[in-house]
C-alpha cells in the first residue's frame, strides 16, 4: 500500500538531481592603483616643470595584462594631440613604465588618462579611473641673440616706448589704459608715458621735435578738452572727447592719486623742454596752467588728510583717505609743492604718515622693512612715486627712502627665491610680485597675496634698488621666455608657470615703470629733472625731507 508513494518520492528525487544547474564561473577580482612616480618623484597627480621626456611609473595592486594598456591609457596634450609612448614593466608586471616616444613640447600641459578598461593578468578591471597632469618646463635655449647689458636695456626701452609713442591715442596723444582699451586713456599711466617720451628723446629713439609735438598734443588736449574737478583729473578719460570714463560706480570724478602721477610727468617734461623758442616756452606755460589749477588743499575735505576721490554725483561718499605706506607718496609731495593750493605739513604727518603708524620695523626673509605692510606689499609701492622722486639719500622723520625701497625689493626677491607656496618657476631668475593681470582677472600680487603670477615690471623697474637681481630676471624674461613674453610694445604684462598662462596684454601703468626706472638706473635723468623743480624742492623741504638733491 505504501509502495506508490515511495516510488513517487524516489522519482521526484531523481528528477531534481538530473536538473541541477552548473555553478557560474568565478568573477575576476578588480584591482587598485597603488602609487605614481614621475622622474622618481611622488607628488600626487600634478607635476610642473617636467623635462621633455619624463619617465612615468604607474604601480597597481596586481600584475597588468599587457594587451589592455594601449586602449586603457591615453596620453594627450591640452590641445588634444596624442602622444605616442612605449611601455615596459617592473615588479612582476604590477608597475607600468610609460616613456614618450619623442620629446614633449616645452611649456605645455599634458594629461595621462588611465581608464577602468585597464585589466590585470587575472582579467579584473581597474577599480577607479585617474588622470596624471603634467606641465613641461621651459625651453632653456636663448630666444634672441645675446647682447651686452647696455644693448639689452636699449632694446627694452626702445620697444617699451612704442606703447606710449606709436600706440598713443591718435586724438589726445595720451596713453591707452591697455592694449585693448580702444578710446579709454589713463591719466596716471599717461604721466608715466610722458616721462617715457622724455627718456626716449634723450636716448634719441625719437627726435626732440617728435617728442615736443607729442607733448603739445597731450597738453593741449588736457587743457582744452579733458574734464576736471577742482583742477584734478579722473582716472580714465575718453581719448576723443575728454569726458570721464568711470573707473567704478562712485569713481566717476576726480582721482587725486592719478592726477599726481600725471603732474609728476608734466613737471618732468616742463623741466626737460627748457628751450627759449616759442614752442617750448608755450608748452611750459600750458603745463603750469594745468599744474596751478589743481586745488590740492580742497581735497582735504577740511581734514588733516587727503582724499583719493571726489564725485560730482556722490561727493565724498567713497571716503577713501590717502594714507601711507603705499604708492601715493608722490600725491602728498606734489600737493605740498603747489604754489597755489598747497597742503600743510600737518596733512602729511597726520594723513599720510598716520603720525608714525605707517612704520613697520619687522624683519622678513632676512631684511628689515622700515615702512608699510607685512612683507612689503606689491612692488609698485617702490616704483610709481619714485619715477620722479629720487630716493637716494632721501630721508625724513619716518624713514630713509633708499633703505625702504631696497628693503622692499629684496624682501620680494627673497620671498620668490624661498618660494614657500611652491609655485612653478619661482627662482633667482624668475621673481617679481606686483599689481598685474592674472588669468581671468587682475590683482595686486605680493608675498601675502601670491597667486603664482610673475609680472616683469616688478623686477625690471626695481633695477635702481636690486641691480644684480633685476638684471638676472631681465635676462631670463628676454632670453629664455622671449618667445612667449616679448611683443610689439615690449614685455607682456605677466605670466604663471603653474599652468603656463601668459598674458597677451600690455598696461600703461606697468610699461611706464619699466621704461622710466631703467632710465633712472642708467642715468638718473628723470630723477634729476623732477627734483630740479623749484616748487618740489620747496614742498619737500616743507614736509621735512632732507636730501642733497634738495
Report yes or no: 432 and 412 within 8 Å, Cβ to Cβ. Answer: yes
Residues 39 and 186 in one domain: no
Q: Can you give the pLDDT at residue 24?
A: 66
pLDDT interval class at 318 (50, 70, 90): confident
Whether 166 has a pLDDT exceeding 80, the answer reads yes
Give dist(CA 411, CA 366) in Å, integer: 8
For residue 82, which of 57, 102, 59 has the smallest C-alpha distance? 102
Q: Can you give the pLDDT at residue 479?
A: 98
Q: Where are the beta strands (DSSP E) in 43-115?
A: 46-50, 56-60, 73-77, 85-90, 95-100, 109-114
Q: Can you give the pLDDT at residue 23?
A: 63
Domain closes at, from 115, 136, 157: 136
Domain closes at, from 104, 136, 168: 136
Angle at 431 between CA 430 and CA 433, to 5 degrees: 145
Give dist(CA 429, CA 425) in Å, integer: 9
Q: Which residues of 78-112 are buried (b: 16+ CB within 10 A; e: fewer)?
A: eeeeebebeeeeeeeebbbbbebeeebebbbbbbb
Give dist(CA 533, CA 541) in Å, integer: 13
Give dist(CA 196, CA 190) in Å, integer: 9
Residues 72 and 178 in one domain: no
pTM for the structure as a whole? 0.90
Whether 189 has a pLDDT exceeding 60, the answer reads yes
| Secondary-structure percent of the chain, ordered helix, strand, coil, rounded to 5 | 40, 20, 40
| Average pLDDT value over all residues in the chain | 95
Is 94 part of any domain? yes
Cβ neighbours of 299 (radius 10 Å): 27
Q: What is the mean pLDDT of residues 213-227?
A: 98
Q: Name all contacts of 440-446 with Cβ < 8 Å and 24+ positions apart.
A: 444/377, 444/378, 444/380, 445/378, 446/373, 446/375, 446/376, 446/377, 446/378, 446/379, 446/412
Task: Find all residues with CB under 8 Å of 248, minimum gap 6, and list them.
Answer: none
Give dist(CA 527, CA 549) in Å, integer: 9
Q: What is the CATH number of the domain that holds 401?
A: 1.50.10.140
Please give the share of the chain, as a percent, with pLDDT higher than 90. Answer: 93
Question: CA–CA distance from 453 to each of 215, 326, 414, 442, 461 (Å)?
Answer: 35, 21, 16, 10, 16
Domain that holds residue 45: 33-136
Q: Can you give the pLDDT at residue 27?
A: 66
Is 3 part of any domain? no
Report yes or no: 429 and 399 within 8 Å, Cβ to Cβ. Answer: no
Give the pLDDT confidence of 33-42 residue by residue, as tens digits: 999 999 999 9
Residues 264 and 207 in one domain: yes
Give dist(CA 247, CA 184) in Å, integer: 10
Give dist(CA 469, CA 413) in Å, integer: 8
Is 96 part of any domain? yes
Residues 94 and 165 in one domain: no
Give the pLDDT confidence of 344-386 residue by residue, as tens digits: 999 999 999 999 999 999 999 999 999 999 999 999 999 999 9
Domain closes at, from 136, 162, 189: 136
Give the pLDDT confidence of 460-497 residue by residue, as tens digits: 999 999 999 999 999 999 999 999 999 999 999 999 99
Report yes or no: 410 and 402 within 8 Å, Cβ to Cβ. Answer: no
Q: What is the CATH number of the domain that holds 78?
A: 2.60.40.1220
Amino acid at each position: 500500500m505504501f509502495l506508490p508513494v515511495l516510488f513517487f518520492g524516489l522519482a521526484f528525487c531523481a528528477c531534481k538531481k538530473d536538473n541541477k544547474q552548473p555553478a557560474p564561473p568565478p568573477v575576476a577580482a578588480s584591482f587598485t592603483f597603488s602609487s605614481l612616480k614621475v622622474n622618481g618623484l611622488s607628488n600626487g597627480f600634478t607635476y610642473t616643470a617636467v623635462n621633455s621626456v619624463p619617465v612615468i611609473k604607474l604601480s597597481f595592486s596586481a600584475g597588468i595584462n599587457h594587451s589592455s594598456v594601449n586602449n586603457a591609457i591615453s596620453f594627450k596634450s591640452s590641445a588634444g594631440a596624442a602622444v605616442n609612448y612605449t611601455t615596459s614593466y617592473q615588479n612582476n608586471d604590477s608597475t607600468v613604465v610609460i616613456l614618450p616616444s619623442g620629446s614633449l613640447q616645452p611649456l605645455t600641459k599634458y594629461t595621462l588618462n588611465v581608464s577602468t578598461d585597464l585589466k590585470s593578468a587575472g582579467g579584473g578591471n581597474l577599480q577607479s579611473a585617474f588622470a596624471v597632469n603634467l606641465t613641461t618646463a621651459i625651453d632653456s635655449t636663448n630666444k634672441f641673440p645675446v647682447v651686452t647689458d647696455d644693448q639689452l636695456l636699449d632694446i627694452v626701452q626702445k620697444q617699451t616706448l612704442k606703447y606710449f609713442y606709436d600706440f598713443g591715442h591718435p586724438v589726445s596723444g595720451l596713453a591707452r589704459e591697455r592694449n585693448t582699451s580702444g578710446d579709454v586713456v589713463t591719466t596716471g599711466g599717461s604721466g608715466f608715458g610722458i616721462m617715457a617720451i622724455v627718456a626716449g628723446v634723450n636716448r634719441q629713439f625719437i627726435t626732440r621735435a617728435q617728442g615736443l609735438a607729442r607733448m603739445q598734443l597731450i597738453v593741449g588736449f588736457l587743457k582744452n578738452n579733458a574734464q576736471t574737478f577742482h583742477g584734478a583729473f579722473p582716472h580714465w578719460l575718453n581719448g576723443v572727447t575728454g569726458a570721464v570714463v568711470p573707473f567704478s560706480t562712485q569713481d566717476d570724478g576726480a582721482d587725486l592719486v592719478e592726477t599726481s602721477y600725471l603732474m609728476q610727468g608734466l613737471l618732468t617734461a616742463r623741466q626737460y623742454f627748457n628751450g627759449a623758442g616759442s614752442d617750448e616756452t608755450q608748452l611750459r606755460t600750458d603745463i603750469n596752467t594745468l599744474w596751478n589749477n589743481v586745488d590740492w588743499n580742497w581735497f582735504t575735505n577740511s581734514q588733516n588728510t587727503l582724499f583719493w576721490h571726489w564725485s560730482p554725483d556722490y561727493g565724498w561718499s567713497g571716503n577713501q583717505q590717502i594714507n601711507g605706506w603705499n604708492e601715493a607718496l608722490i600725491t602728498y609731495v606734489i600737493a605740498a609743492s603747489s604754489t597755489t593750493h598747497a597742503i600743510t605739513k600737518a596733512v602729511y604727518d597726520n594723513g599720510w604718515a598716520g603720525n608714525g603708524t605707517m612704520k613697520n620695523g619687522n624683519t622678513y626673509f632676512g631684511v628689515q622693512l622700515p615702512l608699510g605692510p607685512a612683507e612689503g606689499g606689491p612692488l609698485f609701492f617702490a616704483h610709481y612715486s619714485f619715477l620722479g622722486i629720487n630716493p637716494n639719500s632721501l630721508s625724513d622723520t619716518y624713514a630713509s627712502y633708499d633703505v625702504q625701497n631696497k628693503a622692499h625689493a629684496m624682501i620680494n626677491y627673497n620671498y620668490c627665491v624661498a618660494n614657500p607656496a611652491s609655485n612653478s618657476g619661482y627662482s633667482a631668475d624668475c621673481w617679481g610680485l606686483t599689481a598685474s593681470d592674472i588669468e581671468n582677472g587682475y590683482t595686486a600680487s605680493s608675498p601675502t597675496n601670491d597667486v603664482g603670477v610673475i609680472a616683469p615690471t616688478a623686477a625690471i623697474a626695481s633695477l635702481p634698488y636690486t641691480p644684480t637681481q633685476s638684471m638676472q630676471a631681465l635676462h631670463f624674461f628676454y632670453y629664455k621666455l622671449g618667445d612667449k613674453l616679448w611683443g610689439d610694445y615690449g614685455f607682456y604684462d605677466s605670466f604663471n608657470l603653474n599652468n603656463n598662462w601668459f598674458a597677451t596684454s600690455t598696461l600703461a601703468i606697468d610699461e611706464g615703470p619699466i621704461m622710466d626706472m631703467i632710465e633712472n638706473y642708467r642715468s638718473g635723468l628723470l630723477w634729476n629733472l623732477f627734483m630740479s623743480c623749484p616748487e618740489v624742492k620747496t614742498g619737500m623741504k616743507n614736509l621735512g625731507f632732507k636730501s642733497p638733491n634738495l
